[in-house]
Amino acid sequence: MLQLTVLREQTEQVIAGLNKKNYKNAAEEVAALLELDQQRRQTQNEHDSLQSRANSLAKEIGMLMKNGEREKAESAKAETSELKQKTKALAEQLSSVEDEIQKALYKLPNLPHESVPAGRSAEDNEVVLEHGTIPQLHEGAQPHWELIQKYDIIDFELGNKVSGAGFPFYKGKGARLQRALINFFLDEAMNAGYVEVQPPILVNEASGYGTGQLPDKDGQMYHATADNLYLIPTAEVPITNMYRDEIVPVDKLPIKNTGHTPCFRREAGSWGADVRGLNRLHQFDKVEIVQVTLPEKSYEALEDMSQYIQGLLQKLELPYRVLRLCGGDMGFTSALTYDMEVYSTAQGRWLEVSSASNFETYQANRLKLRYKNEGKTQLLHTLNGSALALPRIVAAILENNQTPDGINMPKVLHPYLGFDKIS
């Protein structure tokens, strides 16, 4: 959530940043918010002035009574009673205005970092680098949705029967490949200094607001209405909310956590190869990495996270590229995002498998996640990255490593799998 002080003191920069994210009516909404803020401050000043007068009168009444000036004391009491009514009305008005301000702030996305390229869609993203060689497949190579049927390792029809579209069953070597990837990703993260946590997969409304999924992604989250709990779209939500309402000692920074969870997303229905098979699911597994850092260290941390995720892709022997997302393609809460995409040779296209983002103070302001600097409380920076999301990684492994007599598994996974080929 943007800070009011930033809106007041850097109004033009805020509007420019919102425009870069293609946020509609940026100038009008910022102006309306600043007007509400002015109203809030005026109401607060009036309330405080009347409250101060009431406090002074309370002291005077005691002195007047002590001096036998009953008539003046009664007059002061009457004025005090009137002041109490006015301050009560102002307090209610202040609460109403503050609620309006909070709702308006929740609607505004984070401001993009200066390095974010302008643009409206994925076509405007900046390619930072490409790594690896795209394999040459044998004649008759198939996309993963054909391979999983051929080798009977993932069952979409059974998932549709039991749950619905987008909830597949993983079977036999397909299930073992899932488990191997999860364990490999967690082991790598712990070796890189991340502390593993196993968080809940249902979170309360406060947690959804804390990391910015609410109200922005309300319609895309599965909602257990009886208990007002939400199924998580990513482990980022519960892991980052571990530090909500905390003042973190500087000597405990940076905080580095990792966790594996299933993730749930009510993706809008569509047709075509872009969403076929494992390309888009309602439930999938992912290992997440999360950092909480000092503000001056956060962009160094983001680069480290990007390098770490690239290292995983290199160990899996997958060709990949790194994108710096443009303003129009960035997430609501992000200040700067790198996307990592692997090349799916059978599909002939790039598949997004990870995003690594710096949120600067946007989440921390919602979370009230702070540290003390020379006695002054300040907001920390939060970051997260997918390390990695499994479905498209599995799709690329199956497609890129297929041969006429089976699918070779990446060498780094052999100790986890107990086999080196699906056949």
Residue 137: its pLDDT value, please?
93
Q: Is the pLDDT of residue 193 over 90?
A: yes
**By percentage, how much of the chain surpasses pLDDT 70?**
98
Residue 331 confidence (pLDDT) above 70: yes
Between 75 and 182, the higher pLDDT residue: 182
User: How would you classify the pairing of strands 223-224 and 229-231?
Assistant: antiparallel
Which residues, at least 6 apart from 383, have a Cβ–Cβ distance to it below 8 Å? 290, 291, 292, 293, 298, 301, 302, 305, 356, 357, 358, 359
* pLDDT digits 0-9 by tens, 36-88: 999 999 999 999 999 999 888 888 887 888 788 888 888 888 888 899 999 99
pLDDT at 246 over 70: yes
Q: What is the DSSP string of 92-138?
A: HHHHHHHHHHHHHHHHSPPPPPTTSPP-SSGGG-EEEEEES-PPPPP
CATH of range 122-422; options 3.40.50.300, 3.40.640.10, 3.30.930.10, 1.10.1740.10: 3.30.930.10
Q: Provide mean pLDDT across the span 175-188.
A: 98
Bridge partner residues of 324 (DSSP): 126, 338
Q: Work out the pLDDT band at 300, boundaries 50, 70, 90.
A: very high
Task: Report the DSSP pairing between strands 336-344 and 349-360.
Answer: antiparallel
Measure the CA–CA gap between 119 and 19, rounded to whole angstroms. 10
Residue 273: predicted pLDDT: 53
The pLDDT assigned to 120 comes to 95
pTM of the full structure? 0.92
Domain boundaries, the chain: 4-107, 122-422
**Could you tell me which of 303, 297, 258, 257 has the C-alpha nearest to residue 380?**
297
The Cα 186–Cα 192 span in angstroms is 10
Q: 222 pLDDT exceeds 90?
A: yes
Residues 231, 264 contacting (CB under 8 angstroms): yes
Which structure tokens are listed for 265? 């997303």
Give yes or no for residue 268 having a pLDDT over 80: no
CATH among 3.40.50.2000, 3.90.550.10, 1.10.287.40, 2.170.140.10 for 4-107: 1.10.287.40
Would you place residue 271 in the very low, low, confident or very high pLDDT band (cuts 50, 70, 90)?
very low
DSSP assignment, residue 268?
P
Nearest alpha carbon to residue 384 among 283, 256, 271: 256
d(CA 159, CA 278) in angstroms, rounded, equals 13
CB 315 within 8 Å of CB 325: no
The number of beta carbons lying within 10 Å of the beta carbon of residue 138 is: 9
Residue 389, pLDDT above cutoff 80: yes
The whole-angstrom separation of Cα 340 and Cα 165 is 26
Residue predicted with more confidence, 422 or 60: 422
Token pair of 377 as six digits: 């409380």
